[in-house]
Amino acid sequence: MSSLSSPTSTFTAFKQYEPNEPAAIVFTVVFALLLFAHVWQSVRAKVWYMWPLILATAVEVVGYVLRELAAVSNTFILVFIIIAPACLAANLYMLVGRAILFVGPGYAIMRPAWITPVFVGFDVLAIATQGVGSAIIFGTDNDIDKMRTGRTVLILGLFIQLVAFFAFLLLAMYFDRKTTVALRQRVAFLRPLMNAFYITGAFILLRSIYRAVEFISLDFNQRPPNGYLYVTEWPYFVLDAVPIAAATFVYNVLFPSRYLPRTKKERLGKDDQMPMAAYSHA
């Protein structure tokens, strides 16, 4: 991959290798195309509940543009890359919440109205904690104790995000299992949407675990701080960029408006097997 740059006297630069410009350009184009596709699909279907995913994709585009240009501190680039998956997770909370609301709240552990506020709240907390940790680490000059404190705060934020998403995954699995057993073919229309959720969830979990291990394994006793995942670029693309791009693409292929009603007011009737609002978007 790219060669390591010569160490600096401080950790503020956060640049242990020169970013691979062709790779940054490729992912800028990839996320830009995904962004265009999602905006076009949402406008065409006249649904607005995909805005967190659109925001996540836009943030990825900005992050990779900055990475390619190297026009700002890598701290800002890191913040953009960290925020994007959290926004994507927020959209998953909204989609599953809408599915539960449509089918019936009796099939879920938690009330649908609580799902988005509770889990998005955890996402916001995780983002804020990661931001504080990043600011402490990358804004500190040669103070190892502060760097370690910042790493602890950042890892805490990553684990909040990881645990919250895993808890939500269990909630969704409970809903999926209970409705499949109780309603069978009446909820068959949701199967592609739930499969998309599981695939996307797996990608998000993979990326979150990678980021946690990256900072847990960072050795501050070396100058500059060192760690394989931190000073090597290929894991960043394989375990962060590719999974998030794939997770975003899943919802281009299985666009939610095909499986969910347009508004929250619609409910699954006794003879319905597919939300009426979805027929025109299938």
Structural domain count, the chain: 1
Domain assignment present for residue 121? The answer is yes
Could you read off the pLDDT of 72-129 as tens digits, one per residue?
545 556 667 777 888 899 899 999 999 999 998 888 898 888 888 899 899 889 888 8
Q: Which residue has the higher pLDDT, 215 or 43?
A: 43
Model pTM? 0.83
Could you read off the pLDDT of 5-15 as tens digits, one per residue?
334 333 343 45
Q: How confident is the model at residue 272 (pLDDT cuts 50, 70, 90)?
A: low
Place of tokens 């969704």: 172
Domain that holds residue 83: 21-266
Domain assignment present for residue 279? The answer is no
Domain assignment present for residue 8? The answer is no
Q: 229-252 burial string, b = 16+ CB within 10 Å, else e?
A: bbeebeebbebbbbbbbebbbbbe
Domain assignment present for residue 16? The answer is no
Domain assignment present for residue 101? The answer is yes
pLDDT of 17? 62
Q: What is the mean pLDDT of residues 259-263?
A: 86
Domain assignment present for residue 276? The answer is no
Domain assignment present for residue 14? The answer is no
CA 274 from centroid of its chain's CA atoms: 28
Q: What is the CATH number for 100?
A: 1.20.1070
Q: 5-22 burial string, b = 16+ CB within 10 Å, else e?
A: eeeeeebbebbbeebbee
Domain assignment present for residue 164? The answer is yes
Q: What is the mean pLDDT of residues 22-47?
A: 94
